[in-house]
């Protein structure tokens, strides 16, 4: 199996988070983009301010690697207007995939109409521009019941408002990789959370982000039914090595 076609190679650290200068962090991003081109990964996932750089490098290399970026990242508490503005700019800069962080805190507070509205409007914007849209639900911040409910909510909004031909372009995604857990608990995809997502998001596809650290774990996720895997160690996983990244 060619796992490269499932891998979204990911680098989302700011210079401060990486402990680097702006120029050095940009060099790291460029290295990830170049690696994605050379290895033939499905996608390179970077911050919105790096989308133009990725677009330039990929076009220059005449590569088929697609570009993803994050919207409302990582907390998901941006207003709908802020998220739509950020997404529109990313589209104009050359992004192919828009990974919105769902306002899971609003969901936990019972503000269901707010969450439904952002899913509807964010998905509408992305699909209108022929983009892939993913909704990050941040499984580590949710209980099992909440994972089930939020996955189903996203599915229901999409099925009620968009045509069946669009379903494959709207994902439910597990994690940002930046959520701080207590006691060393996983902050990314796990087998139990992915199973819950798959069972309740279907027919929408699922992306397992964070926590996939070996080729075997990637294969296991693919066998379960995920269509994408987000990792900061895509090359190591593809080469059968153990990932040493933190996502």
Active site residues per annotation: 99, 173, 207
Q: Angle, to 10 degrees, between the axis of helix 144-161 and the axis of helix 191-201?
A: 30
Which residue, 209, 193, 86, 199, is CA-closest to 136? Answer: 209
Which residue, 119, 76, 126, is CA-closest to 101? Answer: 76
With beta carbons less than 8 A apart as the criterion, state whether 78 and 86 touch: yes
What span, in angstroms and rounded, lies between the C-alpha atoms of 1 and 219?
8
What span, in angstroms and rounded, lies between the C-alpha atoms of 84 and 145?
29
How many degrees, rounded to 5, is the angle at CA 156 between CA 203 and CA 82? Answer: 110
With beta carbons less than 8 A apart as the criterion, state whether 138 and 70 touch: no
Beta strands in 42-92 (DSSP E): 43-46, 66-71
Cβ contacts of 177-186, under 8 Å, gap ≥ 24:
177/10, 177/12, 177/74, 177/209, 177/210, 177/230, 177/232, 177/246, 177/247, 178/12, 178/73, 178/74, 179/74, 179/138, 179/140, 179/141, 181/140, 185/140, 186/140, 186/210, 186/211
Q: Which two tokens stand for residue 27?
A: 């060099």
């Amino acid at each position: 199996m060619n796992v490269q076609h499932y891998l979204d190679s990911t680098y989302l650290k700011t210079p401060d988070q990486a402990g680097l200068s702006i120029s050095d962090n940009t060099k790291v991003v460029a290295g990830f983009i170049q690696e994605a081109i050379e290895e033939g990964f499905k996608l390179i996932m970077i911050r919105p301010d790096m989308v133009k750089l990725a677009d330039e490098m990929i076009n220059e290399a005449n590569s088929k690697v697609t570009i993803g970026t994050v919207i409302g990242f990582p907390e998901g508490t941006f207003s709908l207007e802020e998220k739509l503005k950020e997404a529109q700019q990313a589209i104009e800069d050359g992004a192919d995939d828009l990974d919105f962080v769902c306002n899971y805190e609003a969901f936990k507070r019972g503000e269901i109409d707010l969450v439904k509205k952002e899913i509807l409007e964010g998905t509408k914007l992305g699909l209108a521009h022929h983009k892939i849209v993913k909704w990050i639900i941040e499984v580590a911040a949710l209980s099992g019941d909440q994972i089930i409910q939020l996955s189903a909510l996203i599915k229901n909004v999409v099925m009620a408002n968009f045509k069946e031909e669009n379903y494959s372009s709207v994902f439910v995604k597990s994690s940002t990789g930046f959520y701080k857990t207590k006691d060393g608990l996983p902050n990314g995809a796990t087998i139990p959370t992915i199973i819950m997502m798959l069972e309740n998001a279907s027919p929408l596809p699922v992306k397992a982000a964070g926590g996939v650290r070996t080729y075997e774990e990637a294969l296991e996720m693919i066998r379960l039914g995920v269509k994408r895997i987000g990792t900061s160690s895509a090359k190591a996983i593809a080469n059968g090595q153990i990932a040493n990244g933190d996502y």
